[in-house]
Amino acid sequence: MKIVVLAGGLSAERDVSLKTGDMVTKALRENGHCVILLDVFMGYSEKKEDLTGIFDRSEEISVKVEGIPEVAPDLAKVKASRKDQSDHFFGPNVIELCQMADIVFMALHGENGENGKIQAAFDLFGIRYTGTGYLGSALAMDKGLAKKLFLHHGIPCPKGVAMKKEHRTDDVAALGVTLPCVVKPCCGGSSIGVSIARTREEFHEALEEAFRWENELVIEEYVEGREFSVGVIDFKALPVIEIAPVEGFYDYKNKYKAGSAVETCPADLPGEISEEMQRYAEQAAQVLGLDTYSRMDFLLNQNNELFCLEANTLPGMTPTSLLPQEAAAVGMDFPQLCEKLIEISLRKYSA
């Protein structure tokens, strides 16, 4: 097949997305496909091109990717480096290349990747792509809205509130939240902008940091416990994986720096707790309509109470990512996983 792997973009998770795209591209080429790794924002060339036969030069024109830095990218610098300096989100020749492909593998993370906007645009252009459609993507990306849906359907979540920048208050008590608490951007990912506040001063600093990234936040009670994740493919849960950071919590650095976290799959848990977590993960996917693949994050406190934190509609596929490790636990290697996600996605277009 002719496949465009779409990565990069303008989210704070740009670098992670490019690494996901690089790994997926290599795996799909190993499977025998003609694959172009394309940065959705930078595009190909700076002018309209004759794209005839371009998939025959797929390796030559693909984006070259290095490692993931320990800090989020400077997006202003990224914007300034685009050759055509257009205000359009889609870079030169992106739509044309995607229309030429048999399918687009969505390797994007964060804003304008996981929020459904690109999916909606592709639906209008008749472009086939992997993963959840625009509505499920939008619902899952908004942590506050997803949480309301989870609670309505009996999926346990930490107590909390949403806060918009124009209604900011630094008075924790007035929000009905007790310290310590977790402050995070409503629609972000990779734990960018997330802080644990244990004092009023730290709460003030946490608001400052989170509002740097977004104008709406989620503020939740801090649940002390073990961290887990459950991948779901075609509404069927994979084995549970436990994430234990060597120090601190599972922040951006600990997610993507090798050796920063100990990950165990299948997790060392009583069978009934693993099964309960998998049931909640499958239910969350059903509630949000995540019909291809997704990943749900959980906490388990000392009383063995489960809390669902969020849903990820385009889970990372980097060397340290969780979904590939979970798939490997059931005998599915990385190239097989990529092929499976394409197979399930294409099924939607043949119905």
CATH of domain 160-221: 3.30.1490.20
Query: Mean of the pLDDT values across residues 287-314?
Result: 95
Q: What percentage of the chain carries pLDDT values higher than 70?
A: 94
User: Which pLDDT value is given to residue 257?
Assistant: 53
Q: Which two tokens stand for residue 69?
A: 């830095």
Confirm or reject CATH 3.30.470.20 for domain 140-157+224-349, answering yes or no: yes
- Name the fold adopted by 2-129: Rossmann fold (3.40.50)
| pLDDT (0 to 100) of residue 251 | 47
Q: Is pLDDT of 180 > 90?
A: yes
Task: Place 188 in a pLDDT band, splitting at 50, 70 and 90.
Answer: low
3-state helix, strand, coil in the chain (%, to 5): 35, 20, 45
Could you tell me which residue, 178 or 306, shows the higher pLDDT? 306
Q: State the CB neighbour count (10 A cutoff) for residue 94.
A: 22
Res. 258 pLDDT band, cuts 50 70 90: low
- Type of residue found at 179: L
Measured on CA atoms in the order 47, 29, 106, 100, is the torsion positive or negative? positive
- How far, in Å, CA of 239 to CA of 241, rounded? 6
Distance CA 241, CA 211 (A): 31
pLDDT at 40: 96
d(CA 100, CA 105) in angstroms, rounded, equals 13
Q: For 215, what's the count of Cα atoms within 13 Å in the CB-facing half-sphere?
A: 3
Evaluate if residue 252 carries a pLDDT over 50.
no
The SS3 assignment for 5 reads: strand
- Give DSSP secondary structure letters for 20-66: HHHHHHHHHHHTT-EEEEEETTT-SSSS----TTGGGGHHHHSPP--
Domain boundaries, the chain: 2-129, 140-157+224-349, 160-221
Say whether pLDDT at 130 is over 80: yes
| Model confidence band, residue 186 (pLDDT cutoffs 50, 70, 90) | confident
Query: Which SS3 state, helix, strand or coil, does residue 300 take?
Result: strand
Place of tokens 């976290």: 261
Is the full-model pTM beyond 0.85? yes
